[in-house]
Amino acid sequence: MKRIGIIGGGSFGSALADIIGSKGLPVSLWFRSSKAAAEFNSTRENKKYLPGILLSANITGTASLEEASRNCSLVLVCVPSQHFRSIARQLGQWMDEDQMIVSTTKGIESQTFKLMTEILREETRCLRIGALSGPNLAKEIAAKMPGATVIASRDEDVIATVQEALSCSYFRVYSNRDVQGVELGGVLKNIYAIATGLAAALKMGDNTRGMLLTRGLAEMSRFAEKFGANPLTFLGLAGVGDLVATSGSPLSRNFRVGFLIGQGKSLEAAVREVGDVAEGVHTIDVVFHKASELGIRMQILEGLHALLFEGKALPGVLNDLMNAPQMEDVEFSHRFGESSQG
């Protein structure tokens, strides 16, 4: 395997670069500024995102997208969704159709409702594309705690290459061909991480969290099926695995945003205090409008949107949620059964 490029010097990109570099493979880690790249190269530490953790000496920081992508056998794109298209467009200048490119971004483009792999197809010449998603809290990965992820692609070589690059003694890489489902799982769970953070701040208890997680999972799969995803994907790492990990951890940016709002802070103040991109805030608004357009009922999502974007007070939101029409609990199971039979 030739050099591997990581586009995005945040916590997750740095953690993945460390796995790859620790296996003896050369890695180019792209930072937005030459100052950040130079600081990393001199200290081996990403002081902003992973302070106190020395990363592999096989990683080279760079502020050049060309250097981080040209002639790499594999490129992992780890940038926020709002910057994803502009970065992909620039990568399109340097990458050719034989190179492999994988998105790790859990977001949706608001104007087009495009997933990140769709943007990669539009903006680059790459034909070998995949998505990486799962219960992947970056600080735990960087601390070498046991964990796992999912590589989704319709290209078997992409799956094999990512598994070879990232599998190690503390990190397992599972495979899936349902790219749509894996990407949507990573996107949608952020909504419910905000909901559980809110509930935790209000000291609502484990019964409430259990309700939010299971009914949230039902909403996620119901929505994703409309876009061709396999509901069984949501029983795996990219669905329930990611949902559980991010819906109870203070390491989750989305959980922390919800928690701060539950403590009485405004949405703007909560996002500012977290100080990093919480994709779920953007996702709530985008998915709410798409679900309304398609006539998909998502009660938890609707409540969060009313609270965060419509100015509705929390007591009214909770009252609406608890008095909404009651659905069959087994409607979730029926859809899994139909998928497994057909």
Which one is catalytic: 35, 106, 189, 203?
189
pLDDT reported for residue 340: 42
pLDDT reported for residue 278: 75
Element (H, E) at 173: strand 171-176
Q: What is the residue extent of each domain of the chain? A: 4-177, 180-341
pLDDT reported for residue 338: 47
> What is the Cα–Cα distance from 252 to 45, expressed in whole angstroms?
21
What are the Cα distances from residue 274, in Å, to 85, 211, 214, 251, 277? 24, 26, 26, 10, 8
Q: Is 216 exposed, middle or buried (0-12, 13-18, 19+ CB in 10 A)?
A: buried
48 is an active site residue = no
Report yes or no: 172 and 145 within 8 Å, Cβ to Cβ: no
Structure tokens at 291: 């679900």
What are the Cα distances from residue 207, in Å, to 129, 203, 329? 40, 11, 15
Q: Which of 282, 104, 231 is nearest to 290 (CA)?
A: 282
Please write the tens of the pLDDT for every residue from 318-330.
888 888 777 766 5
Strands 147-152, 128-133: pairing is antiparallel
Q: Which of 189, 211, 184, 212 is nearest to 103 (CA)?
A: 184
pTM above 0.85, yes or no: yes
pLDDT reported for residue 323: 82
**Dihedral over Cα of 321, 237, 277, 95: its sign:** negative
> What is the Cα–Cα distance from 87 to 197, expressed in whole angstroms?
31
pLDDT reported for residue 239: 96
Placement of tokens 């200048």 in the chain? 93
pLDDT reported for residue 341: 38
pLDDT reported for residue 329: 65
> What is the Cα–Cα distance from 290 to 285, expressed in whole angstroms?
9
User: Into which CATH architecture does domain 4-177 fall?
Assistant: 3-Layer(aba) Sandwich (3.40)
Please give the average pLDDT of every successive group of 10 residues along the chain, which has 342 residues. Answer: 94 98 97 97 97 97 97 96 96 96 95 96 97 97 98 98 98 98 96 95 93 93 94 95 94 94 94 83 95 95 95 88 73 49 36
Please name every residue paired with 150 in a beta bridge, in sequence order, or none if there are none. 133, 174
> What is the Cα–Cα distance from 181 to 230, expressed in whole angstroms?
6
**Dihedral over Cα of 305, 322, 224, 192: its sign:** positive
Domain 180-341 grouped into CATH 1.10.1040.10: yes
